[in-house]
Amino acid sequence: MSPPAHSAMPVSIVQLAAGTPWWIYAIVITALALHIGGGLVAIVSGYGALGVRKGGASHLRLGRFFVVAMLIMAAMGTTLSIPIRQPGNIGGGLLAAYLVATGWLTIKRAPNAPAGELERAATALPFIVSALFLIWGVQASNHGGALYGYGSSLYYSFALIAGLFVLIDVRALWRGGMSRVQQISRHLWRMCVGLFFATGSFFLGQQKVMPKFIHGSPVLWILALAPLGFMIFWLIQVRLGRKRGQQIPTTPEGLITARALP
């Protein structure tokens, strides 16, 4: 059993063995830069998209930055975490990428249209994550309650969360097309939960790279959990708009217009 990695990053330069070729150092440094840079851009653009008028030009532009940055951050974090066996980062990276990608694809679809091939294929990702973490959880339970230095509860938690995403996707595929309100709700919660993966990882998981006076500050908890608060607020707005009979128009791209939400 390999010892757990305790670096704040998915991998660090000090974890490379002495005599490692220079080009491996270059790859790791580049990947770390993309991971950190992507995460920072995702947090800034994600909060920006939440703060501007929904469906407007600024919202769409910031949303594109957010999706690309999240995918880069997740891809680099997952790739760097595999060789040093950090299952939390592997599961978090894969699920964050899945949420953001499917959230974007959902809102691009025309109302009541069936899911596209990419959306259908994306359902396989949380299924794989759930199965993988379930296997790891069983292995951990059979080896004193830990595997790669992490308790079985972490593995079972990721297996449960990913399995829940699978059930939600299967239900959506079985139901067929979605109304515009359903699409917007799906888009909102997936983007906000994806943003929470980034804010929680940074503001709560990377405090040792911050000044000591802010460690454990309630401000960090607020910044980390804010995406979930925004998610609840906007989901309520969407539901209230539907109850009031408010029409939710779409743009030619299938995106929300500036009149769709308050």
How many CB atoms sit inside 10 A of residue 119's CB?
A: 18
Q: Is the pLDDT of residue 242 over 90?
A: no
52: left (phi over 0), alpha (psi -120 to 50) or beta: beta
Q: Is the pLDDT of residue 132 over 80?
A: yes
Query: What local confidence, expressed as pLDDT, does residue 198 receive?
Result: 95
Identify whether the C-beta of residue 32 lies closer than 8 Å to the C-beta of residue 20.
no
Query: What local confidence, expressed as pLDDT, does residue 140 receive?
Result: 94
Q: In which residue are the tokens 């998981």 written?
A: 205
Q: What is the mean pLDDT of residues 223-236?
A: 95
Helices 87-108 and 124-141, axial angle in degrees (round to 10): 160
Identify whether the C-beta of residue 91 lies closer than 8 Å to the C-beta of residue 78.
no
Q: Is the pLDDT of residue 42 over 80?
A: yes
pLDDT (tens digit, 9 = 90+) per residue, 45-72? 999 999 998 888 999 999 999 999 999 9
